[in-house]
Chains A and B, each alone.
Chain A
Amino acid sequence: MSEYPISDSDQEPEELAPMLLPLDGWHRDHGGRMVEFAGYMMPVQYEGIMAEHLWTRESAGLFDVSHMGQLLVTGEEDAQTDVEPALEAALPIDLSTLKLGAVRYSLLLDENGGILDDLMVSRWPGGFYLVVNGATKWDDIGTLREYLPDDITLNHLDDRALLALQGPKAVDALERVAPGVAALTFMKGGRFTLGGVDAWISRSGYTGEDGFEISVPGEAAADVADLLLAQPEVKPIGLGARDSLRLEAGLPLYGHDMDPERGPVEAGLAFGVNKRRRLEGGFPGATRVQRDFAEGTAQKRIGLKLEGRQAAREGAKVFHGEQEVGVVTSGGFSPSLQHPIAMAYVDAALAADGSVLSIEMRGKKLDATVAAMPFVPNRYHR
């Protein structure tokens, strides 16, 4: 555990050589094809994106997401008196309804209500545990440090690794090595012993499947990964399948499907602004967010189902007849559905399910229909 320096002398990690995560050698030993991602070398695939994707949907996939930022927010007094109001002033979350061990999705907003990141917040004894995106974590730490009073401590748990075990058989595999996890329900977590290692495990993930996210000390990560991979349900899964799985699950990816130009309402992430906070305000960007709730937004994030096999890619223009009405922010071929799918922002008047649009790719117009998300039904264990 190391406290992040408060000085402004932060370096831009993308200008440096990629950093290595605790499981770097493990991935290479298991045939992972390594690529640079969010400033780290990460496995994009092992046996192939399609096979890994389908394996996760039918069994259990092991993902290394140690590039993500694990942060701990604590105060000098007990959590009730100082940390809660400080964190509520920084995030649009209602902590009064977040019980010990519970996990909740939230958003880091700028003063204009634009999205700086999405994150998970868990209540730990004496503090709050945050998981933020890898590519944005350094900026997030700076923003949070700016939003939080000086007597609130923000620790970057950069000595910890983060694994995800996702899929319908994840619970069978994990219960065998971390007894008790099967009793967790979706978005609940707790401390468990996993092969002798003290782990924070929550029933959550980024695939739409039942599954778990597992935080362990970095030096124990390879042993934990070995133990999980030894379970017959489990195969290692790379970033490529992580992206196609989350797209099918309708889950937005920061930097693509949301960015500082977009607010929570148009991004379809209103649930990331809790009801009491929506009414009371008092968080960064509240004015814009409240106005968007009241008046609606010009565009909305929607799902698109494409005809044919050619995928639409990020940046492709969306048309209604001859009129340009939006832009694709994520797109690809859905391994589970065997046709292309996409996320896009389009004019609110055309955002209803069934709306017939087209997407321009290489001078051709691909037929697309607005479809409800998730594209593949979620299978969370509630």
Chain B
Amino acid sequence: MTRYFSQEHEWIEIEGDLGTVGITDYAQGQLGDITFVDLPEAGAAFGKGDSVAVVDSVKAASDVYTPVSGTVAEANGALTDEPELVNTQAETGGWLFRITLSDASELEALMDEAAYKDYVESL
């Protein structure tokens, strides 16, 4: 399994042609207390960079962009009742959706963990 990161603070973990997407721990810290997550429907197709989900905090709503093109395979239903999982387990149990990749070469434009760490420190 390989994990990639985007400049918009999403992570994607790849297993075959399936990617699991969430927001990074840094991103959840910036957003603060998350109160609601608007998740995509399974079967919906998106292009790289499209807004796929919305994460609501007490203060504001933030779009989540898919780092790759593809079709949504599954959304994390646990977030309906426990949106705070995005705060407490941003990079594990607080994942947002799984997407079937349509173009694996898009992953090449993303960062690995070390590069993302440097990127966050540069902000």
- List chain A residues, Cβ under 8 A from B58: 49-50, 53, 240, 244, 332-333, 335
A80 beta carbon closer than 8 Å to chain B: no
Q: Which listed residue, A45, A243, A311, touches B56 by the CB 8 Å rule? A: A311
- List chain A residues, Cβ under 8 A from B35: 309, 311, 333, 340
What distance in Å separates the Cβ of B24 from its nearest Cβ neighbour in chain A? Answer: 17
What distance in Å separates the Cβ of B85 from its nearest Cβ neighbour in chain A? Answer: 13
What distance in Å separates the Cβ of A336 from its nearest Cβ neighbour in chain B? Answer: 11
In the bound complex, CA of A310 to CA of B37 (Å):
8
- List chain B residues, Cβ under 8 A from A308: 36
Q: Which of A311-348 contact B (CB under 8 A)?
A: 311, 313, 332-333, 335, 340
Measured CB to CB, the nearest residue on chain A to B61 is A313
- List chain B residues, Cβ under 8 A from A244: 58-59
- List chain A residues, Cβ under 8 A from B38: 310, 362
A255 beta carbon closer than 8 Å to chain B: no
Query: Cβ of B33 and Cβ of A49 under 8 Å apart?
Result: yes
Q: Report the count of interface residues on A (CB-CB < 8 A).
A: 20
Q: Report the count of interface residues on B (CB-CB < 8 A).
A: 13
B47 beta carbon closer than 8 Å to chain A: no
In the bound complex, CA of A259 to CA of B100 (Å):
48
Query: Cβ of B54 and Cβ of A362 under 8 Å apart?
Result: yes
**Count the A-B residue pairs with Cβ separation under 8 angstroms: how many?**
46
In the bound complex, CA of A332 to CA of B56 (Å):
9
Query: Cβ of A332 and Cβ of B59 under 8 Å apart?
Result: yes
Known: A311-B61, A313-B61. A48 touches B36 (CB 8 A): no
- List chain B residues, Cβ under 8 A from A340: 35-36
Query: Cβ of B59 and Cβ of A309 under 8 Å apart?
Result: no
In the bound complex, CA of A50 to CA of B123 (Å):
25
- List chain B residues, Cβ under 8 A from A240: 32, 58-59
B83 beta carbon closer than 8 Å to chain A: yes
In the bound complex, CA of A347 to CA of B83 (Å):
34
What distance in Å separates the Cβ of A372 from its nearest Cβ neighbour in chain B? Answer: 22
- List chain B residues, Cβ under 8 A from A310: 36, 38, 56
In the bound complex, CA of A63 to CA of B60 (Å):
21
- List chain B residues, Cβ under 8 A from A311: 35-36, 56, 61
- List chain A residues, Cβ under 8 A from B54: 362
Measured CB to CB, the nearest residue on chain A to B63 is A362
In the bound complex, CA of A311 to CA of B58 (Å):
9
What distance in Å separates the Cβ of B11 from its nearest Cβ neighbour in chain A? Answer: 22
- List chain B residues, Cβ under 8 A from A50: 32-33, 58
In the bound complex, CA of A49 to CA of B58 (Å):
7
What distance in Å separates the Cβ of A381 from its nearest Cβ neighbour in chain B? Answer: 27
In the bound complex, CA of A313 to CA of B35 (Å):
14
In the bound complex, CA of A40 to CA of B61 (Å):
23
Q: Which of A290-319 contact B (CB under 8 A)?
A: 308-311, 313
What distance in Å separates the Cβ of B76 from its nearest Cβ neighbour in chain A? Answer: 15
17 new A-B contacts, CB < 8 A, other than A45-B32, A311-B36, A311-B61, are: A49-B32, A49-B59, A50-B32, A51-B33, A53-B58, A308-B36, A309-B35, A311-B35, A313-B60, A313-B61, A332-B58, A332-B59, A333-B35, A333-B36, A335-B58, A340-B36, A362-B54
Q: Which 8 A-B pairs have the closest CB atoms?
A: A50-B33, A333-B35, A309-B36, A49-B58, A310-B36, A240-B59, A49-B32, A333-B58
Provide a sorted-by-A list of 26 A–B residue pairs whose CB atoms are within 8 angstroms: A48-B32, A48-B33, A49-B33, A49-B57, A49-B59, A50-B32, A50-B33, A51-B33, A53-B58, A240-B32, A243-B59, A244-B59, A309-B35, A309-B56, A310-B36, A310-B38, A311-B35, A311-B36, A311-B61, A313-B60, A332-B59, A333-B35, A335-B58, A340-B35, A340-B36, A362-B54
